[in-house]
Amino acid sequence: MATITDPPKGAFRLSMLINDTRYRSLTFQFIALFLLIALFAYLGSNLVANLRAAGLNISYEFLGEPAGYDINQTLIEYDSQSSHWRAAVAGVLNTLLVAFLACLTATILGTIAGVLRLSNNWLVRKLMAIYVEAFRNVPVLIWIIIIFTIMTAVLPAPRAFRGDEPEASMLFGAFAFTNRGVYTPLPIFGPGSSVVIAVFIASIVGVFAYRRYATKLLYDTGRLLPMGWPSLAILFVPTLLIYFILGRPIGLEYPELRGFNFSGGIQIRGSLIALWFALAIYTGAFIAENVRAGIQAISKGQTEAAASLGLRPGRIMNLVILPQALRVIIPPLISNYLNITKNSSLAIAVGYMDITGTLGGITLNQTGRAIETILLLMLFYLVISLGISALMNVYNNAVKLKER
């Protein structure tokens, strides 16, 4: 055997670099590497020459200078005297905020729509098909603009809430839906509120403990404890009790029309809502298709087997179909999450100050440092994307079908 595959012993000739399979791959790789280095050297030398000709330089010093502009919605302390760097961080947090909200909403929406697309109700099935096709086949930029326009044009301006006979009024006297955004009450934490919060967190833990206990009981003895009502009770009753016993330590600050705007309460800006909804509804359509494909990938026999065991349709879905379908659904779900994060860069179309709006927008305009800002911008998205896919891969491996 060995004698056959043994290479012919002979002096190394130059032609072997191309003709001999052992060396050929090295030759190719060397050429590729050389070309790559040459390309980068070429681009780099052009850059240097261009910058020298224009008298510019690459420097990140501008990040430390005051930004000079204001950002209407930030999660961190920021004013116009903060640095460009801080503006960028505020933008990053805004990107993450809208991406998180949109991912969550899109998942819920997509799962519901995906399940309903397989409903035995003809009308619902068709409606969901229309939703999915309409949103999948129209660019997300158009949807963002349309939803933003709907927000602006359909909802009343804060002005409409003014006067003795206002054209619009607040929902429950607490929520104001305006075309500048939604205003909701803000909880004010008085003394003793930490106790209430602690009890609430304990209740959440309690719910999980109860469910685990119920499952264990089911597996051990076959007794089925009720799930829904006890869970709700555990979640709310102790908290409410403690809340009233302590004399309602958590108050609400209601939004109030004062001057030009509502003040007090929490304002969720219209641009955030528009972007959030647009991304969620758009991506929800894609997720719906994934969910449908995932469910359909589970063979009919599984449903029938579960039904013959006497499980109710809801339980069949929850206990048999979805856990199996998840394996098919998760990988495309990850890429949809990535798409949401990347599509959130379209925030500039609605004036939401995400990282593309602050660092890649106004900072770029004001400082003119195109190369530096765009490089930072790409780096940020790259880190986020790689981070999410790494995280999700870990999860993906955990739920993978373990074949023996």
Partner 1 sequence: MKKSVFLGTLTVAGIAAGVAGAATLDDVKARGTLNCGVTTGLVGFAAPNANGEWEGFDVAVCRAVAAAVLGDASAVEFVPTTGKTRFTALASGEIDMLARNTTWTFSRDVDLKFEFTGINYYDGQGFMIPRELGVSSALELAGATVCIQTGTTTELNLADFFRSNNMEYEPVPIETNAEAQQQYLAGACDVYTTDASGLAATRATFEDPGAHVILPEIISKEPLGPLVRHGDNDWGDIVRWTLNALIAAEEYGITSANIGELTAGTDNPEINRILGTEGNLGEMLGLDAEWAVRAISANGNYGEIFAKNIGESTPIGLARGLNAQWTDGGLLYSPPFR
Partner 2 sequence: MSDTHQNSIVYVRETMLPEAPPPATETGIVKWMRENLFSNVTNGILTLVSIWAIYQLVMAMGPWLMNGIWDAPSLSACREILQGEVGGCFAVLTERWNQLLFGFQYPDDQYWRPTLAFVLLFAAAAPIMFPKHVPTVGLYFTAVYPFLAYWLIWGGTILAPLVAMAGFIVGYLVYSRFVAQSFAAGFFGAIVAAFATWWIGGMIVDLVAPETTVLSAVESRNMGGFMLNMILGTVCVSLSLPFGIALALGRQSSMPIIKWICVVFIEFIRGVPLITLLFVANVVLAYFLPPGTTFDLILRVIIMITMFASAYIAEVIRGGLAALPRGQYEAADSLGLDYAQSMRLIILPQALKISIPGIVNVAVGLFKDTTLVSVISMFDLVGMIRGPILASTEWNGVYWELLGFAAVLFFVVCYGISQYSQWLERQLQTDHR
- Residues that bind partner 2 in the complex, under the rule CB under 8 A: 18, 25, 28-29, 32-33, 36, 43, 46-47, 49-51, 53, 116, 119-124, 127, 133-134, 136-143, 145-146, 149, 153, 338, 342-343, 345-346, 348-349, 356, 360, 364, 370-371, 374, 377-378, 381-382, 385-386
Q: How far is the CB of 120 from partner 1 (least distance, A)?
A: 43
Instruction: Identify what 70 binds: partner 2, partner 1, none; CB under 5 to 8 Å per kind.
Output: partner 1
231-239's contacts with Cβ under 8 Å and 24+ in sequence apart are: 231/207, 234/203, 234/206, 234/207, 234/210, 235/203, 235/204, 235/206, 235/207, 236/203, 238/199, 238/202, 238/203, 239/196, 239/199, 239/200, 239/203
Instruction: Identify what 270 binds: partner 1, partner 2, none; CB under 5 to 8 Å per kind.
Output: partner 1
Instruction: Identify what 33 binds: partner 2, partner 1, none; CB under 5 to 8 Å per kind.
Output: partner 2
Q: Measured from the CB atom, is 95 or 239 closer to partner 2?
A: 95
Q: How far is the CB of 217 from partner 1 (least distance, A)?
A: 55
Q: How far is the CB of 341 from partner 2 (least distance, A)?
A: 8
Q: Measured from the CB atom, is 154 or 260 closer to partner 2?
A: 154
Q: How far is the CB of 292 from partner 1 (least distance, A)?
A: 36
Closest CA to 275 of 158, 123, 146: 146
Other Cβ atoms within 10 Å of 362 Cβ, number? 19
Separation CA 370–CA 58 (nearest Å) = 10
Q: Which residues have CB under 8 Å from 124's CB, separation 6+? A: 116
CB 115 within 8 A of CB 316: no
The binding site for partner 1 (CB under 8 A) comprises 50, 53-56, 68-72, 79-81, 149, 152-153, 156-160, 179-180, 258-261, 263, 270-271, 348-349, 351, 353, 357, 361-362, 364-366, 368, 370
Q: How far is the CB of 115 from partner 1 (least distance, A)?
A: 36
Joined tokens for residue 146: 């349309």
